Amino acid sequence: MFRIAAAVAALLFSFLTAPSAAAAAPATDVLWGACPAYPGGSSLSAAQRVVDKWGAGVHIRQFTNASSSLPWNPVPSGSLMHRSYKPPTTITNAAIDTLLRAAEGHYVTFWHEPENDGLSTSARNARINLMNRLYDRNVALGRPATVVPTFTGWMFAANNSGGARTRDLWDGVKGDLLGVDYDGIHSYGTEYDDETDEVMEWLADNPEYRGWAIPEFGTSRRPSDPSGAGRTAWMREQVGFFLDAPIPPETVDWFDYNTSAHDTVGEGLNSIQPGSPEFVYWQSLVALN
């Protein structure tokens, strides 16, 4: 019923927006979402800002530096949450269990993009054991939540031999969904078809995974694209790759956050501004949730 209502809402939305924006909204079971724009945050109020911007039912992505405690802050009604934590490897099973029960129906990651942390072999093995404990505890509890180990997209680039070598180091990580971040490269020439092909190989080699997710997706609007039409076209193309994959992602979240002190409109601005072509397009996808 929820998805039927969302589909009707998307159809009504199409008559109120430009034809090019409406035509790009595909029929799909993917959950579309975003993280809170600046100043971010992992609170309920920060999550509510995502709903206020994108509409009811938006998928929400949040990050927390919580370590010895693993708080599960409330989530706006009607939305699903993907939240990342940074606990120490000594965190107890009891603390993990409490988090997983509180996060029932939602998505949880321990230490997203861990390959970026410059870990020694022993520290990496300890991190893998921690990430696997999250998965194993979730299984033991009857899978109340969805566990999403998350890595950078470059690690899955078929044309990046360094990525392939790094990926091998993390082959023992278990999860329900494989999270792969498709952002951080600010060029409309970047295409994520290679990475998507590599993700399909990972899923084939790791049958405990039921699928994958894109917890961070995006690029900045370039100075040569003052209207945002170029970035919108790039977004459409990448979404086409995702949906054409043998296994489409379960969630896709725009990284709606400006990561540099030098972010300005037209140069380095990752966030999508309301009323822009990018906003109309992404909101048309969110309306399908």
| pLDDT digit string, tens, across residues 180-192 | 999 988 889 999 9
CA distance 104 to 50: 20
Nearest residue to 285 (alpha-carbon basis) of 262, 252, 257, 256: 252
Q: How many domains does the chain have?
A: 1
Inter-residue contact 80 to 119 (CB < 8 Å): no
Mean pLDDT of the chain: 87
Q: Which residues on neighbouring strands pair with residue 252, listed in sequence order?
A: 32, 214
**Sheet with 211-217: strands ordered across:** 146-147, 107-110, 81-85, 59-63, 31-34, 251-254, 211-217, 177-181, 150-152
C-alpha 114/C-alpha 117 separation (Å) is 5
What percent of the chain clears pLDDT 90, i.e. is strictly above it? Answer: 72
State the Cα–Cα distance between residues 181 and 138, nearest whole angstrom. 23
Instruction: Check: CB of residue 43 under 8 Å from CB of residue 73.
Output: yes
In this structure, what DSSP letter does residue 171 have?
T
Report the C-alpha gap between 134 and 220 in whole angstroms. 34
- Taking only the tens place, the pLDDT of each residue in 35-93 is 999 889 999 999 999 999 999 999 999 999 867 789 999 999 999 999 999 999 999 99
Boundaries of domain holding 146: 2-286
* pLDDT surpassing 80 at residue 269: no
CATH number of 145's domain? 3.20.20.80
pLDDT in tens, 87-110: 999 999 999 999 999 999 999 999
Measured distance CA(192)–CA(174) in Å, rounded: 23
Q: What gap in Å lies between CA 279 and CA 173, rounded to an integer?
A: 35
Q: What is the pLDDT of residue 223?
A: 83
DSSP character string of 198-230: HHHHHHHH-TT--EEEEEEE--PBPTT-TTSHH
